[in-house]
Amino acid sequence: MRLPKVEKQQSGKMSRRALLLLGGQLGFMSVLGLRMRDLGVKQAEQFRLLAEENRINLQLIPPSRGLIYDRLGSPIAINIPLYRIQIIREQAQNPEQVLRRLSKLIPLSEDTIAQVLETISNRKPWVPVTVTENLEWEHVAVVAANAPSLPGISPIVGAYRKYPQPHAFCHIVGYVGPVSDYDLSRIEDDDPLLRIPRFQIGKNGVEARAEHDLRGKAEIKRIEVNSVGRVMREIDSEAGIAGKNLQLTIDNELQHTTLNRIKDESAAVVVMDVRNGDILTLASAPTYDPNKFVTGISVPDWKALNENKYRPLANKTVSGTYPPGSTYKMVVALAALEAGVIGPKEKVRCSGSVEVSGRKFHCWRRGGHGRVDLVRSLRESCDVYFYDIAQRVGIEKISNMARRLGLGIRHDLPLPAIRRGLAPTKDWKRRVKGKDWFIGDTLNAGIGQGFTLASPMQLAVMSARIASGTAISPRLINTTGDALMPVSGTTPLDVDPEHLALVRLGMYEVVNSGRGTARGSRIAIQGLEMAGKTGTSQVRFITKKERASGVIRNEDLPWERRDHALFVAFAPYDDPKYAISVVVEHGGGGSKAAAPIAHDIMLATLERTKAGYGKLPSQKRRTDDPDEQPSDAPVKAKDRA
């Protein structure tokens, strides 16, 4: 009796399980059916394209590169249209025939035609291939007018960089060029623009240092292409951002004036506003044409630039470092005054040389200067005076003062290859040279020789800080886009103002006193007087034998063995506004080669900016001035004391 009941219960359980299983299967099939309907009907077109291996690509449209202007809005770097002709094989049908028709309208050599045909054969039939570029508009217009007979040919308008004043700004602005594998290996930048073939970036100068601001942001288009790369449709786009324009502190007219003045020299000139650090002139000679680098410089042109002994590719204002010679004497004087080892009226006897540790250190004047104080030692550039005080103050305090005045430090400017120069110390010599510091090293540093090195930029900063009494720093960019770049270093210099005034007086007498070493380069306009310091730095060793028989004149030596000529100055003396440094490589004496250049450029600066005065008359410098060189004539009453 129990078996049928058990069987009935088991049969009921099996029926319920079957129903649950069947329900689950029906539910699954329903969901699957709905999904298949959605995929097969609603999304059929999308998946048909995916089945053909369509994909979404990003298309980058390069932004317009930012422009560069001088302080008054004169264009320095601009973008101009670049016209090119391209061909699409599948539209041309017979590319060779079309190219030969094209060659009758625009200059197109047989070699070019052959090269284009070879390129076409290695590309997809719908991929555009450049036939020629850098065309004149007239050529493009002719091609456009004959379009019906030139299937597959289309004129394209792009842009490339142009420097309308190439030689004046080559060392400042630099140039652009196509991105290379080397560029990609050394820069950490994931901007996809850099992967575009022949996309141009800054390679030198401000173009390179302000690359991110000038480059802008690309316009991005999302396009759909099929399995063979043909564009199907544009999905959406993201607007690009043009590069920011830059305004430099450089004065275009003054820059041209300066380069015209030094065009026959291997030289560097820096003019700086002592009130805000604005660099008005940054000139290095000789120059070069940066436009040749934009589309690729030729081998002969590159060879000529590299083999020129005057080094036209080097920006001597920041990358050239030289023994500062006697222009360094203001550093030594201030170090000694601040340390209290000399007084303003204390005198040192100069007999023409001084012997230290068995070695003679000579003054430039063989017979000596007699008893001299600080102002006279600067005025007549007495070496023995500075040998004496350098020993007393020591190299550590001298170099510390040099750094306070802007020497031996790297100034923050948007330029490549900025050299730090050298304000040597005992530790530096042990670390770099592996030798101890000797007293003779200190004496050499006392007159700006030995290990001491400075760039023209640093010498201009030194002059500006002495003139202004502030720790002013150089400034090359005035605005980036709409943003005004800050002025830095207007805080008072950590030097006693009375000591600065004493050194400024010595610099005034260098130029304006009857015995001053730069008397022939004075600005003889009341209220605009210039104060400065000459310098001559040796590049060769003078033997005892040569000194005994008479030192060979620079004019009688090969160019590369002549002394460097230097001059630093500021003006006007009573109300300093501008500082200048001039270095003429192997120019000889500072009073003959560098000071006259500084005179002309400083006067042009005062005239150009009017310096708070009316129109100034031009002043022709007398070349037959009997006071060109230091004399023993007494100081006139009108000269300041």
What is the structure's pLDDT at 197?
Answer: 61
Q: Specify if 5 maps to a domain.
A: no
pLDDT surpassing 60 at residue 592: yes
Alpha-carbon span 375 to 228, nearest angstrom: 84
Range with lowest mean pLDDT among 1-5, 24-28, 353-357, 426-430 = 1-5
Q: Specify if 57 maps to a domain.
A: no
pLDDT surpassing 90 at residue 253: yes
**Helical H segments across 356-419, by residue range:** 374-379, 383-393, 395-404
Residues 267 and 145 in one domain: no
Average pLDDT in the 207-224 region?
Answer: 85
For 66-106, how does the pLDDT look when each residue is reduced to its tens digit (9 = 90+)?
999 999 999 999 998 888 888 888 778 888 899 999 988 88
pLDDT surpassing 50 at residue 310: yes
Choose the final residue of a domain: 128, 160, 192. 160
Mean pLDDT of the chain: 85
What is the structure's pLDDT at 139?
Answer: 87
Contact 586, 560 (CB under 8 A): yes
What is the structure's pLDDT at 351?
Answer: 93
Contact 404, 352 (CB under 8 A): no
What is the structure's pLDDT at 616?
Answer: 31
For 140-198, how does the pLDDT look when each residue is reduced to its tens digit (9 = 90+)?
888 888 888 888 888 877 788 999 999 999 999 999 988 877 877 777 777 777 776 66
Question: What CATH number does residue 425 fall under?
Answer: 3.40.710.10
Residues 260 and 154 in one domain: no
Of the candidates 383, 313, 326, 402, the residue with the CA atom closest to the CA atom of residue 564: 326
Residues 139 and 258 in one domain: no
- Taking each helix axis as running N to C, give the angle between helix 595-609 and helix 252-262, from 0 to 180 degrees, rounded to the nearest 10: 160
DSSP state of 203: E
pLDDT surpassing 50 at residue 438: yes
Q: Specify if 305 maps to a domain.
A: yes
What is the structure's pLDDT at 640?
Answer: 34
- For residue 583 the two structure tokens come to 């270095």
DSSP state of 487: P
Choose the final residue of a domain: 160, 189, 216. 160
Q: Specify if 515 maps to a domain.
A: yes
For 365-423, how does the pLDDT look when each residue is reduced to its tens digit (9 = 90+)?
989 999 999 999 999 999 999 999 999 999 999 999 999 999 999 999 999 999 999 99
DSSP state of 506: H
Task: Tell me the pLDDT band of 107, cut-offs 50, 70 and 90.
Answer: confident
Residues 147 and 270 in one domain: no
Alpha-carbon span 452 to 579, nearest angstrom: 21
pLDDT surpassing 50 at residue 441: yes
**pLDDT > 70: percent of the chain:** 83
Who wins on pLDDT, 635 or 562?
562
Three-class SS of residue 274? coil
Choose the final residue of a domain: 160, 189, 205. 160
Residues 600 and 468 in one domain: yes
In total, how many domains does the chain have?
Answer: 2
What is the structure's pLDDT at 162?
Answer: 94
Who wins on pLDDT, 287 or 24?
287
> Which of 136-145, 234-243, 260-269 has the highest average model confidence (pLDDT)?
260-269
Range with lowest mean pLDDT among 51-60, 196-205, 207-216 = 51-60
Average pLDDT in the 622-629 region?
Answer: 33
Of the candidates 126, 116, 135, 55, the residue with the CA atom closest to the CA atom of residue 91: 126
Who wins on pLDDT, 222 or 298?
298
* CA dist 358 → 439, 444, 445, 450 (Å): 11, 15, 18, 18
Who wins on pLDDT, 301 or 25?
301
Neighbours of 427 (CB within 10 A): 10
For 517-566, how does the pLDDT look when each residue is reduced to its tens digit (9 = 90+)?
999 999 999 999 999 999 998 876 666 665 656 677 777 678 788 889 99
Q: Specify if 226 maps to a domain.
A: no
Question: What CATH number does residue 139 fall under?
Answer: 3.90.1310.10
What is the structure's pLDDT at 149?
Answer: 87
Q: Specify if 404 maps to a domain.
A: yes
Domain of 528 in residue numbering reads as 252-612
pLDDT surpassing 60 at residue 641: no
Residues 132 and 264 in one domain: no
For 17-52, how does the pLDDT look when each residue is reduced to its tens digit (9 = 90+)?
677 777 777 777 777 777 676 656 556 555 555 544
Residues 153 and 271 in one domain: no
Residues 413 and 539 in one domain: yes
Alpha-carbon span 580 to 280, nearest angstrom: 10
Strands 231-238 and 219-225: antiparallel
Q: Specify if 125 maps to a domain.
A: yes
Q: Specify if 605 maps to a domain.
A: yes
pTM summary value:
0.80
